[in-house]
Amino acid sequence: MTPTLQIIREAHARIMPHIHRTPVLSSSILNAQVGAELIFKCENFQKVGAFKARGACNAVMSLTDEQARRGVVTHSSGNHGAALAWAARLRGIKATVVVPDNAPAPKKRAIAAYGADIVFCAPNVVAREAAVAALIEKYGYFLIHPFDNDQVIAGQGTATLELLEKRPDLDMVISPLGGGGLLSGTSIAAKGIKPSIKVFGAEPRGADDGYRSFTTGVRVTEQTPETICDGLRTTLSERTFNNIRANVDGIGVASEENVIKAMRLMWELLKIIVESSCSPPLGAILEGNIDVKGKRVGIILTGGNVDLDKLPWQS
């Protein structure tokens, strides 16, 4: 069932004992530079270093005992996999994660550290889904999809509840767009609380299926992503596309250059570690593709799991 504001509030109550209520940060220098007030919701400080802890926790804690006993499985480039491993351990059940073999090393290590089994696959959607299907067929695991799952979407929306509780005066919220789980939850929560608020997604130009789907009204189901944003390479599902069409006001895209520039600006001015996959919202603002002039703008910073030996401005 498509999540509502009420369902997102119930998810929040369910996961609150387990997650961090993350802080928001701002930079007066950055605000002066873009001519707006940017309020960053720091999910890089969340459990497992990413907002994905919210959705995975809500989904795992919503399982019936019978479902939980089967163990859970997912495919993930990293953060959802670590989040599912963490949530499964909280509940005391087994987790298996299918990981594309080009996922960043620290993300692979995190999945293993939280005690999940890892199965590697080729880095594309077809290979991921085939590997998951084979595991379900063989072992009977319960699938917790990284974004095409209503409990996961409701969990991701809880970050926006906290953001708007802290800053009810926001004019706009922007979140990165990959498979669309976060943007679905963000937009349902934001419009539910404040119908006048504007909600935007942002993605790298090298994986702009969301932008193309949104502007043409026809869902793009295949792409060959070319972006360093490893968390944003997936395409929308029917479910997330419908949520986004119903609730989102626009999608902004950013070049790789502006993604990297935005990432570095946040490191320098906010003094925080954020992933490249966090950076399209600020990147799209810098590129002039989302107009924020004079507005109060919430931005969901999705995660901080970075390979510190391979920084994008040094390659």
| Among the listed residues 12, 15, 39, 44, the single contact to a second copy using CB under 8 A | 44
The reply to whether 255 belongs to the active site is no
> How far apart are alpha carbons 55 and 152 in whole angstroms?
4
| Among the listed residues 12, 37, 38, 49, the single contact to a second copy using CB under 8 A | 49
Comparing CA positions, the residue from 275, 277, 216 lying closest to residue 251 is 216
The least CB distance from residue 23 to a second copy, in Å, is: 5
> To which residue do tokens 């767009």 refer?
177
| Among the listed residues 30, 199, 274, 299, the single contact to a second copy using CB under 8 A | 274
Q: Does 304 sit near a second copy (CB under 8 A)?
A: yes
Query: In the stretch 6-25, what mask flags binding to a second copy with x, by CB under 8 A?
Result: -----------------x-x
| Among the listed residues 195, 222, 271, 294, the single contact to a second copy using CB under 8 A | 271
Q: Which is nearer to a second copy, 33 or 124 (CB)?
A: 33
> To which residue do tokens 């960053």 refer?
40
Write out the binding residues for a second copy, residues 94-153 only, by CB under 8 A.
106
Q: Which is nearer to a second copy, 13 or 308 (CB)?
A: 308
- Phi-psi bin for 72: left (phi > 0), alpha (psi -120 to 50), beta? beta
Which pair of structure tokens corresponds to residue 210? 């969301």
Q: Which is nearer to a second copy, 226 or 307 (CB)?
A: 307
Q: Contact at 8 Å (CB) between 42 and 301?
A: yes
Q: Which is nearer to a second copy, 38 or 290 (CB)?
A: 38
The single residue of 62, 77, 213, 279 carrying the catalytic annotation is: 77
Q: Which stretch binds a second copy (CB under 8 A): 157-165, 174-182, 231-239, 270-278?
A: 270-278
Backbone angles phi, psi at 303, to 5 degrees: -170, 165
Comparing CA positions, the residue from 220, 251, 248, 252 lying closest to residue 234 is 220
> How far apart are alpha carbons 18 and 14 in whole angstroms?
9
Q: Is 261 helix (H, G, I), strand (E, B) or coil?
A: helix
Which pair of structure tokens corresponds to residue 208? 């702009």
> How far apart are alpha carbons 286 and 33 in whole angstroms?
9
| Among the listed residues 64, 196, 314, 315, the single contact to a second copy using CB under 8 A | 314
The reply to whether 62 belongs to the active site is no
Q: Does 204 sit near a second copy (CB under 8 A)?
A: no
The least CB distance from residue 53 to a second copy, in Å, is: 12
Q: Contact at 8 Å (CB) between 77 and 107?
A: yes
> How far apart are alpha carbons 216 and 210 in whole angstroms?
10
* The residue type at 275: E
Q: Does 309 sit near a second copy (CB under 8 A)?
A: yes
Tell me which residues touch a second copy (CB under 8 A): 23, 25, 44-45, 49, 106, 264, 267-268, 270-274, 304, 308-309, 311, 313-314
Catalytic residues: 52, 77
